[in-house]
Amino acid sequence: MHDLVNSPIHYASGSVECIDAIEASMTRDEFLGYLKGNLIKYTWRYRDKGGVQDLQKANWYLTKLIAQWEEPADLSPTKRDFNDVRSQIDGLY
């Protein structure tokens, strides 16, 4: 069985994870906002939709947000060249 919180199969395309492609397409501040938005979304809806799984997803986004926040801005993975990630994605098709 696949881990639907930490590594959902529907978010991977070959060797590229969707979260990595999203991160590579954004500035550091944009990516921090994206993580915060998803954290809010999952904590907002957990009682009406996903229950514990949504709380686990919120925790995943919080953990990622903390790791990104603690990382020096000049070493952020969002500084990667978006074209490198894009070429990896294109190479899958």
Residue 71 lies in a domain: yes
φ, ψ dihedrals at 92, nearest 5°: -85, -15
Write the pLDDT tens digit of every residue in 36-53: 999 999 999 999 998 999
What is the C-alpha separation between 6 and 12, in angstroms, rounded? Answer: 12
Residue 60 lies in a domain: yes
What is the C-alpha separation between 7 and 84, in angstroms, rounded? Answer: 22
- Please tell me the pTM assigned to this model: 0.71
Tokens of 87: 């070429």
Q: How many domains does the chain have?
A: 1
Q: Looking at the chain, how many residues does it have?
A: 93
Residue 34 lies in a domain: yes
43 is in which domain, residue-wise?
A: 17-90
Residue 12 lies in a domain: no
Residue 9 lies in a domain: no
Q: Is the pLDDT of residue 90 over 80?
A: no
Report the pLDDT value the prediction gives residue 82, as an integer from 0 to 100: 62
Residue ranges with strand state E in the chain: 12-13, 16-17
Residue 1 lies in a domain: no
Tokens of 4: 């639907």
